């Protein structure tokens, strides 16, 4: 499923360091602005203890985990919406992503230059917010000029609906609020809103990049960010990017766990970030499990059984008959599919079944 999270932020906040930890695709990392010019794309495996357990139980010939695409995008500076720095390139790249991981510098280090000369994550956040909002305002005002004429002549109901959506967005953006702060009840309004592809309508995860000593509890910078985003319907994640880079250099799982324990963490920030990115894209996982293969399949939250079947092969969706569903907890507790069948816990579901995260599926179809 080709959905992408874009890592964004001002230059020198730790984006590329973090991306390097996430992916084998190494982004250049240097102590000067714009060292990342072309977006780097990494296909990242999603950590999932359920997959590990299914592999342990099935002992399959092959294992296929879920993945998510992460894109490292060039740093942005003031004036990007007007083409300053790499602004136009940045904005074009971010428009192509489905969600935003916004990295904020929340550490002091005199050896790492800040593009604005001082550390202030709230100011940094506002710089990027402002540039994205300006670009969205430009998009909305351009559409209003065209739609207004249609709405005023001939009683065009569709144009009137679109104008209402656009005016509500303009009102929010004029107040310095992101487009995602505006919601619509009607399906037509929601569809039109999505088709505008506004930059500030994308879901966002704020990643506070802290020093080693703040990885477990955060710091004053993190608290300032929490206060700044509390009305935004956005998540915050604390990660020490340089510490994650050190962890990535260790050879064994045991060494990495020992390192994490020393700094008061149960798991790496990278693992938490990958899972958060997966959830940010509104993605969930169902499994197929057997002696040949255990596989994690990615689907959009709320998808029905035929749609999920089509992820395996389009014929499965076209000829869908029914889905055999085993709940993950039942599969583990009853020792696998045979035990589930004997206990009468196998669910037979039709076309209206909404697949749940963790379901173990087998599709029946006829083409």
In the beta sheet, which residues pair with residue 61? none
293 contacts: CB under 8 Å, gap ≥ 6: 60, 61, 62, 63, 64
163 contacts: CB under 8 Å, gap ≥ 6: 144, 147, 148, 151
Q: Is 153 annotated as a binding residue?
A: no
Q: Is 13 annotated as a binding residue?
A: yes
3-state SS of the chain?
A: CCCEEEEECCCCCCHHHHHHHHCCCCCCCCCCCCCCCCCEEEEEECCCHHHHHHHHHHCCCEEECCEEEEEECCCCCCCHHHCCCCHHHHHHHHHCCCEEEEEEECCCCCCCCCCCCCCCHHHHHHHHHHHHHHHHHHHHHHHHHHHHHHHHCCCCHHHHHHHHHHHHHHHHHHCCCCHHHCCCCCHHHHHHHHHCCCHHHCCEEEEEECCHHHCCCCCHHHHHHHHHHCCCCCEEEEECHHHHHHHHCCCCHHHHHHHHHHCCCCCCHHHHHHHHHHHHCCEEEEEEECCCEEEEEEEECCCEHHHHHHHHCHHHHHCEEEEEEECHHHHHHCCCHHHHHHCCCCEEECCCCECCCCCEEEEEECC
Q: Is 16 annotated as a binding residue?
A: yes
Q: Is 71 annotated as a binding residue?
A: no
Q: Is 209 annotated as a binding residue?
A: no
Question: Which residue in 234, 206, 233, 205 sits closest to 222, CA to CA?
Answer: 206
Q: Is 201 annotated as a binding residue?
A: no
Nearest-Å Rg of the Cα atoms of the chain is 23
* Annotated binding residues: 12-17
Residue ranges of the annotated binding site for ATP are 12-17
């Amino acid at each position: 499923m080709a959905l992408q999270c874009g890592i964004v932020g001002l230059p020198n906040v730790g984006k590329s360091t973090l991306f390097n930890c996430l992916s084998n695709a190494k982004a250049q990392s240097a102590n000067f602005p714009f060292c990342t010019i072309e977006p780097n794309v990494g296909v990242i495996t999603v950590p999932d203890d359920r997959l590990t357990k299914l592999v342990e139980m099935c002992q399959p010939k092959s294992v296929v985990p879920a993945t998510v695409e992460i894109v490292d995008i060039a740093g942005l500076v003031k004036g990007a919406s007007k083409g300053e720095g790499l602004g136009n390139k940045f904005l074009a790249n971010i428009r192509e992503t489905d969600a935003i991981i916004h990295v904020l510098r929340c550490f002091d280090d005199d050896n790492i230059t800040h593009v604005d000369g001082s550390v202030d994550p709230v100011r940094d956040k506002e710089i990027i917010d402002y540039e994205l909002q300006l670009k969205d305002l430009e998009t909305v005002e351009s559409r209003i000029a065209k739609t207004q004429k249609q709405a005023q002549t001939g009683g065009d109901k569709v144009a009137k609906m679109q104008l209402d959506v656009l005016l509500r967005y303009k009102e929010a953006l004029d107040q310095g609020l992101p487009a995602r702060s505006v919601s619509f009840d009607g399906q037509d309004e929601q569809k039109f809103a999505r088709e505008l592809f506004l930059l500030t309508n994308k879901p966002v995860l704020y990643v506070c990049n802290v020093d080693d000593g703040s990885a477990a509890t955060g710091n004053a910078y993190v608290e300032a960010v929490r206060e700044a985003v509390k009305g935004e319907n956005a998540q915050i994640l604390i990660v020490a990017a340089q510490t994650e880079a050190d962890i990535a250099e260790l050879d064994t799982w045991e060494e990495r766990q020992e390192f994490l324990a020393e700094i008061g963490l149960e798991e790496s920030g990278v693992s938490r970030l990958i899972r958060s990115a997966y959830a940010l894209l509104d993605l969930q996982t169902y499994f197929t499990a057997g002696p040949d293969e255990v596989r994690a399949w990615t689907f959009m939250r709320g998808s029905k059984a035929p749609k999920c079947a089509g992820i395996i092969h389009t014929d499965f969706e076209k000829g869908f008959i029914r889905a055999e569903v085993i709940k993950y907890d039942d599969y583990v507790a009853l020792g696998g599919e045979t035990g589930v069948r004997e206990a009468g816990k196998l669910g037979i579901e039709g076309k209206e079944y909404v697949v749940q995260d963790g379901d173990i599926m087998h599709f029946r179809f006829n083409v």
